[in-house]
Structure 1
C-alpha cells in the first residue's frame, strides 16, 4: 500500500484483485438527492419509444419524512421546485390509507419506487401516481435499504435485537418478484448492513459495524467476496464507472473508490471532519454534502461540503445550527436541501441553500424529514 499526503488529506492506494467480471447495472438512489438531469418537458418516453404524458409526481422532488417513533407516521411529500408547490402525505392521498411505518429509505428502481420502513415492511408504488403496486410485509425485522437485481429484491435488515440491543443476526432478505411478496431467503451478513448496490449479478452490501463491503452472488444468494475497510461504510454512489463508498471513522470521513470494471479498490481520500453522520448527498461532480452533529446534549450540527478533485480534497463548513436530519442536492437548480427535525417536537422544516450557503427559503414539511429524491 502506498500513501501520500496532500494538504492534510491522506490519499491511499490499495488494490484488491477479485476474479469476478461485473457490468454496470442501475444504481440505487439512497437518501440522497441527485440526478443526471431533470426532465423539463411534459412528456416522457415509454419502453416502446412512444411519448406519454408525465404522471402527477414524475417531475419534482420527493421529501421523505421518517415519522415519530411509536406513532409510526412516516410519509412522503412532493415538491415542485419550480413553482414551489408542496403536496403533503401523498402515499395516504393516493391509496386512502396511512403509510403506517417509520420511513428509512426511498429507492427508485425498475420503474417502481420502494418505500423502506424500518418498522418491518416495504411498500411499492408507481412513482408516477404513487398508487400501490405491492408490498413486503412479513418476515422482516428492521429493513434499512433495498436493491433490485433481475426479478429479485434484496433488502438489507439489521435483524432482531438481542437482550443487550445488539444485532448479531443481521441479514439481506431475498424476495422473488419486483412487486413484493414473501421472503424466500435470508442471507447472513455482518452486523448492521446499510446501503446496497446492484451490479450485474452481484449485490454490494455496506456492512457498517464490521467495516467491510460484502458481495453477494444474486444467483447463488450467498456472500462470495469480502473487502475490508478502515472505516464504517454508509453509502454507495456510482459515477463514470467508479463506485464511491462513503465511510465514517473517528474524527474523519473516508471516501473509497472502487473500479467497477475490475472490481478493484483504488483510492481512499481521508478528510478530517469531526462528528460526521451517515447523512450525505452527492452533486454528481465529485462534490459531497454531509451533515455533522455533536449529539446529545448540545446537538451542534453543521452542513459541510467536501470537494474532491484529482488527488486533493477540501472540507468547507456552509451552515451551522441544531436539529439537522437530512441533506440533499438539486443538480438542476444547484441548490442544497437541509432537513431539520426540530427535535421531533411537531413537524420538521426544510431550508434551501445556494451552493455558497446562502438561505433561499424555508418551508414546513412532515415529522422527522430525513431524505430527498429527484426524478
Structure 2
C-alpha cells in the first residue's frame, strides 16, 4: 500500500508539472486575432477610410483602429484587406497600401508611391502583386491598367508594372500563375510568376470581379444585369472548365460564401431608388433559393461568420455620416445593428 501511495503521488506530480508547462507555453492571443474586421471605405474627397473591429463574444466595438494604433489617420479610400504571410494588407484605391501586424494593427510598412487606383493584392515568391486600374484617360476609361510588383513583403517601391486588360480587380495565386479578373475587359488574364508576364487572356461571360473557393473548386464570379456567372477554373492550366449561370437580376459585385455551397449576393436597383436585397443561391443546383432573404436600402458590403452562422450587412446610409452594420441570422432575420465608419463595404472574419 505504501508503494502504491508513492506511485500515485509521483503520477500526480508529473501531471501537475506537464500541465504547468503547457500553460507556460500558451501564447496569449493578440488584441485583434479573433473577431470581425469591418472595412469602412470612406467618402470620396474626404479619404476617411478606416477599419473597425467587432468582438461578437462580448459585443465590443473598437473604431478607427489603424489611427489609434499608429497615431496617424489611414488617409485613403479603403478598397480591400488581405491577410497573408503574417501580415494584413490594407489596399486603398487612392494609390497606396498599408501593411500592419494583424495581431495589434501596428504598422510594418507601406507602398505609398508608384500606384494610381489600386484594387487588391496577392503575394507570390515573397513579392507583392497589386492590381491597379492605372490612370484614367479623357473619357474615364482605363486603357493602361497594370499589376504593380513590389519586391518586399513589408512594402517599399514599385519595381515593375505588368500591363493587363482593363480594370483588374481580384486575383488568385494558382501554383506558379496569378489569375487576374479584369472587369471592364471581361477577361481573365494569366501571369507567370517566373517571367512576370501575361501568358494568356481568356474572354469570360459577364463582368468578372473576384475569385472564391467552394467544396475544393475554384470559381471566378462575374455578373451582368440579368445573371451571375460562376466560372469554374482549372488550377493547373488556368482554363475554364465550365460556367454556372444563375438568374440573379441586378446582382452587384458584393457577395459572400454561406453554408453548404450557397452564395449570398447583394442586389440593387441603383440610383435613384436603391431598392436593395440579399439573394441566396445554390452553386450546385444552379438555382435561386430566395430572391430576398432581407431587403432595405444602401447595402454596400456583406460577410458571413461560419461559426456563429451570422450574416453581416454594411449599410452606407447614403454616405451621410456613419454607416451601420446589420447582423442577421442565416435565415435573414435581423438580430442587431451597430454603428460603423463611413461606407462599410466589407468584412474579414477571424
Same fold (TM over 0.5): yes
Q: Distance in 2 between matches of 1:308 and 1:119?
A: 34
1:313 corresponding residue in structure 2: 287
Report the counterpart of residue 154 of structure 1 in structure 2: 129
The answer to whether the Cα contact below 8 Å between 1:308 and 1:314 also exists between their aligned partners in 2 is no
- Does residue 349 of structure 2 align to residue 371 of structure 1? no
TM-score by length of 2: 0.90
Find the residue that maps to 2:79 and give its secondary structure. strand
Paired with 1:240 and 1:264, the residues of 2 have a C-alpha distance of 19
The answer on 1:345 being equivalent to 2:330 is no
Q: Deviations over 1:130-183 (max 9, x none)?
A: 000000000100000000002110000010111111111111100001000100
Question: The residue matched to 1:91 in structure 2 has which SS?
Answer: helix
- Partner of residue 108, structure 1: 83
Q: Secondary structure at the match of 2:335?
A: strand
2:180 corresponds in structure 1 to: 205
Q: Could you say which structure has the greater relative contact order, defined with CA pairs below 8 angstroms and 6 or more residues apart?
A: 1
Deviations 1:58-95 (A, max 9, x none): 01100000011111110000011111110000000100
Q: Name the TM-score, length of structure 1 as normaliser.
A: 0.84
Deviation for aligned residue 1:269: 1.6
Where structure 1 has 5 or more consecutive residues not aligned to the other structure, the ranges are 1-49
Partners of 1:149 and 1:200 within 8 A in 2: no
The alpha-carbon distance between structure 1 residues 213 and 188, as it changes in their structure 2 partners (threshold 3 A), is same
| Inter-CA distance 166–262: structure 2 relative to 1 (3 Å threshold) | closer
Q: How does 1:4-15 map to 2 (within 5 A)?
A: none
- Tell me the distance in 2 between the aligned counterparts of 1:284 and 1:198: 24
Higher percent of residues as helix: 2
Asked if 1:182 corresponds to 2:157, the answer is: yes
What is the aligned partner in structure 2 of residue 129 from structure 1?
104
How far apart are the structure 2 equivalents of 1:70 and 1:314? Answer: 38
Q: Which runs of 5+ in 2 are unaligned?
A: 1-24
Q: Distance in 2 between matches of 1:250 and 1:297?
A: 17
Match for residue 167 of structure 2?
192
Does the 8 A contact of 1:318 with 1:356 survive in 2? yes
Q: Choose 1 or 2 for highest CA Rg.
A: 2
**How well do the aligned residues superpose, as a CA RMSD in angstroms?**
1.3
SS in 2 for 1:53: coil
List, as ranges, runs of 4+ consecutive aligned residues in structure 1 with deviation greater than 4 Å.
Answer: none
Q: Do the aligned partners of 2:190 and 2:238 also contact (CA within 8 Å) in 1? A: no
Give CA deviations for 1:271-325 in whole Å, capped at 9, x if unaligned: 111111110111263111111111111111111111123x442241111111110
